[in-house]
A and B are shown apart, each in its own frame.
Chain A
Amino acid sequence: MPKNTLEVANLSVAFGPTTVLRDLSFVVPHGTSLAIIGPNGAGKTVLFQALIGALSHGGSVRWAEGTRIGYVPQKLDLERDLPVTGHDFLRAKAAVTTASSSDFARVLSLVGLGARVAAMPIGTLSGGQFQRLLVAVALLGAPNVLLLDEPTSGMDEPGQEALHETVERLRSETGLTVLSISHDLSVVFRYATNVLCLARGSGPACIGPPASILTTEMLQQLYGAPIRYHVHDAR
């Protein structure tokens, strides 16, 4: 395997006259976890969309050969009465990525979702249940990279904890590379190998290990206000 799963050089994204990302450069080594933080409007989701080629951009984005991405989007606008069940969703992903339907039970179990819930229409699931389903779908097809855009939003505390632990276990056991957008700095501190901070108004970005990025001064500069977070004892 190559050393880096992702190499980004001078990435810029603009919408008309507004530049959202400017000259962003970073690498993500294989099997590591990169957390992307920053205030609302800093371009975190835009960065993800540029990384998967959904947005035109300047600079270069190079994924290692053989990269298979599992993507968890931030927000989906679905009708409550959409007649698509969790199983339909899983079947669709499995068919497109030629994953086996026997994998459904495994990914559902990984995210702690029962078969009964997966049989319900996705529009009727709670926010937390739907997030779990999105992660289960992302894990189908043997991805070696996960892009998680606020994957635990809407989940209860135990659910968040379990999901973070699951992703971390997959990373350490299978060499999965994880890029995640998060507003929970405690989680970032605990699980991220590196942190990429994006400033609003395409200001200068910074990257480094959590201990060097999540300092009082850096966070004050990034968010424009004092930020506190709880450091878990586990790490």
Chain B
Amino acid sequence: MTLAEVVSLALAIGTGIAAGLIGCFAVMRRMTLAADALSHVALPGIGLAILVGVQPLIGGVAMLVVGALLVWGVERKTKLGTETVLGVVFSTALAIGGLLTTGDDLMGALFGSTAALTPVEAVIGLAVVALVIAFVLRERHRLVLLLISPEIARTSGVNGARLNLMFLLAFALTIGLGLRYLGVLLIGSLAIIPAATAKRLAVGLHGMLGIAVAVSVIATVTGLVMARELHREPGPLVVLAASACFIASLLWRRRGERGVTHS
């Protein structure tokens, strides 16, 4: 393997770790649909970047950050219809992105590609991986309190609004990390499917984080290896490998999925 290939593999695995970790909290916060919709907002950014001759990834990540701020603002300002607003806004974003991006660019943006990384992309990517992993590990206790009860979190000194914003930005950055090789339509899956698998298997928080990371990394490596062997794009194969893990978890163990209200 060349150095470039090693760095590329390291970034893909790092993205898998970051996606597995942040995905756990996205799944536990029941924001899987919002997370998927958020990833779509990258497309118009990529389209605009290609139009004006800027690095597509920069456009995609910039739009993701805007999308995260939008979700945060909508959640804070309105008590009703958040999912409706998100559905409308992000579907519109996908439509605009579809118009702005054409041909091979569109396919690459939607499903990822194996185009080589530039050194700057690799350095920024690895830095973002470190940032997201550090955020989840450092803030996991605050995220747990906020997840269980905003009142308990608040009286324990947690600034819920700020933590929510940081979480959404970390999620947006994770989506941005996977844009290149998974694409707009599939990166959300790398955050959600390993976490959903881990949620079925784990008893405690650290178990869930560990299993999600393991599934995510296994799916990433399996997908990349198969893509190389089969001469296909890696995105769909990575997601299929993650889905296979989820299906296996259904056979392995099945717990009650019914919601329960403590009162």
A residues adjacent to B (C-beta < 8 A): 48-49, 52-54, 69-71, 73-85, 87-89, 91-93, 95-97, 120-123, 125, 127, 130-131, 134, 137-138, 141, 147, 153-154
Contact = CB atoms under 8 A, between A and B. Distances in A.
Interface of B: 28, 30, 140-142, 144-145, 147-158, 198-200, 202-208, 255-263
Contact of B200 (A81, A91, A96): A81
Contacts of A120: 203
4 A-B pairs closest in CB distance: A95-B141, A92-B144, A92-B141, A83-B202
Given A85-B203, A96-B157, A77 B261 contact: yes
Given A54-B151, A80-B257, A85 B204 contact: yes
Contacts of B208: 83
Contacts of A88: 144, 204-206
B204 A73 contact: no
A153 B199 contact: no
Nearest to A138: B152
Contact of B151 (A52, A89, A95): A52
Contacts, number: 115
A120 B77 CA distance: 36
Interface of B is mostly: helix
Contacts of A147: 155
A127 B257 contact: no
Given A52-B155, A81-B199, A95-B141, A76 B259 contact: no
A121 B203 contact: yes
Nearest to A77: B261
A93 B151 contact: no
